[in-house]
Amino acid sequence: MSFLTRIRERATADRRRIAFPESADQRTLDAARALAAGGIVEPVLVLDPLHPESHAAVRALGLETIDPASHSDRAAVRDRLLQGRGSKRFSPEEAERLSMSPLYLADGLVALGALDGCVAGAVYTSAEVMHAALILVGPAAGVRTVSSAFYMVVKEFRGQGEEVLTFTDCAVVPAPKAEQLADIATAAATDRPHIVGDDARVALLSYSTVGSGQGASVDTVRAALAILRARMPFLAVDGELQSDAALIPEVAHRKAPGSLVAGSANILVFPDLDAGNIAYKLVERLAAARAVGPIVQGLARPCNDLSRGASADDIINVAAITALQARAASRSPRLRGDNPS
């Protein structure tokens, strides 16, 4: 059974209510119809006040809809925006306006626990999706850096058949410092068992392998490794590793003998956004890998981004992963974001 089939089937076991705030987009409607028909999630379509001409077609699907103009929890979302997060504050006029936005209302309802997750980005930009999620939901307990990952479905390359590799971060943090790199690795390692179903094996990538090179970025990776080992002593993690040493057993034996991760890594943590974004696109295009994501990681509750070129099938896959993240979040003993500060 393929990875994409597995995530859809696993999501059906515990159906989650997932918001779709881009209901005027036909791809979103096609995905919502398929998600409901397959029992993968319970789609909740948020009507768009800027496109009233779409409302009849949305309601005709027979799925749950939310109208920002009349929803009973909109005032609670507006109040949450007024409270703000960190140094961000909105005026009463701004909070009122944003609470009518399908994206902000959807994320606000996720933050309040009225919905389990949100999927957007087919129409909204990544910056808009991330901004709304950070303002309304915020990071999970113990996480200061929200980041992203692509789940790369790759063909057999080390005698194990089709594999799924986590590439992180490829879309959010441009130049992570050591603490941020450790946060990115932590979030990826936390998500992977819930999404893929196996144990995390984390490689912190570099142009150096265990001392073969020197430089500022190598120092950052080494510092991140020290933070990770102190934070998560039972995590299988190593670095700094070149990508071939991280993935190929024969190379690992020569370059990093004795490493418990080298040659068998399934999470690749890139030293910066340039490396991560370039790598996932090259692997997708040259190795015919399937890139699923970007999946936002590190939020208290899942609000995921889409490429604006996403197909209905892409939306279905991200929705299934969002449901799996929501299940994991519901089991967390403490969720930051319940009391914005």
pLDDT tens profile 18-47: 999 999 999 999 999 999 999 999 999 999
Q: Is 225 exposed, middle or buried (0-12, 13-18, 19+ CB in 10 A)?
A: buried
For residue 336, pLDDT over 60 is answered with: no
Closest by CA to 301, choosing from 113, 105, 128, is: 113
Instruction: Give the pLDDT of residue 200.
Output: 96
Helix 178-195 vs helix 216-231: crossing angle, to nearest 10: 50
3 state DSSP class of 295: strand
Tell me which fold the domain 147-290 belongs to: Rossmann fold (3.40.50)
Question: Is the pTM of the predicted complex or chain greater than 0.85?
Answer: yes
Confidence grade of residue 307 (pLDDT, cut at 50, 70, 90): confident
Name the segment(s) of the chain with CATH classification 3.40.50.10750: 147-290
Q: Where in the chain is the domain with CATH 3.40.50.10950?
A: 3-140+301-330
CATH class of segment(s) 3-140+301-330: alpha beta
pLDDT tens for 213-252 read 899 999 999 999 999 999 999 999 998 999 999 999 999 9
pLDDT at residue 1 tops 60: yes
Burial letters for 242-267: b for 16+ Cβ neighbours within 10 Å, e otherwise?
bbebbbbeebbeebbeebebbbbbbb
